[in-house]
Structure 1
Amino acid sequence: MEGFYKEVIGSRSFASIWYWIVFAVVWTRTTHWTLGVPYEDAQNAKKLGGQYQLDFETQIEINIRKTLEVFEGHSIIFTAIAAFFLATVFVLGFSFNIQFMQASFLLMFPLTIVSGMSIHLAQRLRALQLEGLELYGAYVWHRRIKQGIGAFSIFFAAFWGVSQTLFSPYAGTF
């Protein structure tokens, strides 16, 4: 059982299959659900129009209202907590060389950037009142930027993880 723990459930984050599964699932879900609306709904709205277009616009409108209601009411508190939490994880990970904190930071920091971008998009969409193809275009553009950030995040985390695994003093122990 000890060999199984070391190989599959080991505590070295970057060498753990579970970390990479969580990383992949988080980014897949993040890019699929843009502004709380699944990508299929956006595609159906563009291709089929009619009721699908109305449903897509309604979903976007509801999620914009919910997002901005929560954020605008508590933005200072959310920002302060997020900044403190990210700074703490960063310092623990990179100053004290705790690999779990490094792995957590490399997952959370890009998600924080994407969350800020989503809030900005929600504010912009509320101000512009976009409909139809303009709304779809803004949705798809935002989704593609999120995909780019996710791809870079995965690449950088893999690069960092390989360097930590290969060059750590305990690399030969697995």
Structure 2
Amino acid sequence: MDWYSTVFEIIDMRSFSNLWYWIALAVAWSTVSHWVVGVPFDLIQKATRLEGEAQQDLEDLVRINCNRVLYVAGVSGLWILGFAAALFTSMAILGFWYKVEFAQAVFLLLFPIALAGLMSLNTAAVIRERALEGEDLRKRLNRHRVQTQFLGMGAIFVTSLWGMYQNLSLGVLR
């Protein structure tokens, strides 16, 4: 038996029946919902409880991250958008037209996370435009987190349905 056969026998290359894919999906959405515009959620909670210095730390970190995100979007946003559009179009065509399961899995993992990134860009722009601070800033960050969690639940639900469909329909054939 050659090395490649052994590896592919041990590691199931079908994405939706692979436990590691589902672990990666859960970890990805957990991470995305924990970091709100680059700020850890526990810092938002701490600022809500203690205010004072914790609130100042939150405002400083939000200002730094909003400026960073908006700068990158302003300088190279069109290039990033173009490459992302090419990547997602390629993944969608490979996955759903040519039925490459790995491409389907990558698309269903990364596309909703890219949407969450656009939501973060929008939140950063709103925070800077309105010069939010204090209670208003915390409310906006909490709202963004809840929206991200709803997006994540929807993405996990759709991915689960598609994965079950793939496993049931292709499981009979393999």
**TM-score interval, smaller chain:** over 0.9
Deviation of the 1:9 alpha carbon:
2.3
Matched, 1:166 2:168: yes
SS of 1:104's equivalent in the other structure is helix
Tell me the amino acid that sits aligned with residue 107 of structure 1: L
State the partner residue of 1:98: 100
Q: For the residues of structure 1 that align with 2:173 and 2:6, how far apart are their CA atoms? A: 15
Q: List structure 1 segments (4+ residues) > 3 angstroms apart after TM superposition.
A: 2-6, 170-173
Deviation of the 1:80 alpha carbon:
0.6
Structure 1: gaps (5+ residues)? none
Equivalent residue for 2:35, pick from 27, 33, 36: 33
State the partner residue of 1:150: 152
Structure 2: gaps (5+ residues)? none
Deviation of the 1:56 alpha carbon:
0.5
SS of 1:130's equivalent in the other structure is coil
CA contact (8 A) 1:9 1:18 kept: no
> What per-residue deviation string (whole Å, max 9, x for no partner) do you get for residues 44-90 of structure 1?
00111110000011000000011111111011111111101100000
State the partner residue of 2:72: 70
Equivalent residue for 2:117, pick from 108, 115, 122: 115
RMSD: 1.7
Q: For the residues of structure 2 that align with 1:125 and 1:24, how far apart are their CA atoms? A: 28
**Cα distance, 1:80–1:20 mapped onto 2, change above 3 Å:** same
Q: How many residues align?
A: 171
**Cα distance, 1:59–1:27 mapped onto 2, change above 3 Å:** same
Q: For the residues of structure 2 that align with 1:10 and 1:139, how far apart are their CA atoms? A: 40
> What per-residue deviation string (whole Å, max 9, x for no partner) do you get for residues 83-114 of structure 1?
01100000000000000000111011111111
Deviation of the 1:171 alpha carbon:
3.4
Tell me the amino acid that sits aligned with residue 172 of structure 2: A
User: Normalised by the size of structure 1, how large is the TM-score?
Assistant: 0.93
Q: For the residues of structure 1 that align with 2:51 and 2:80, how far apart are their CA atoms? A: 37
Q: For the residues of structure 1 that align with 2:127 and 2:51, how far apart are their CA atoms? A: 20
Q: For the residues of structure 1 that align with 2:172 and 2:130, how far apart are their CA atoms? A: 54
Matched, 1:14 2:13: no
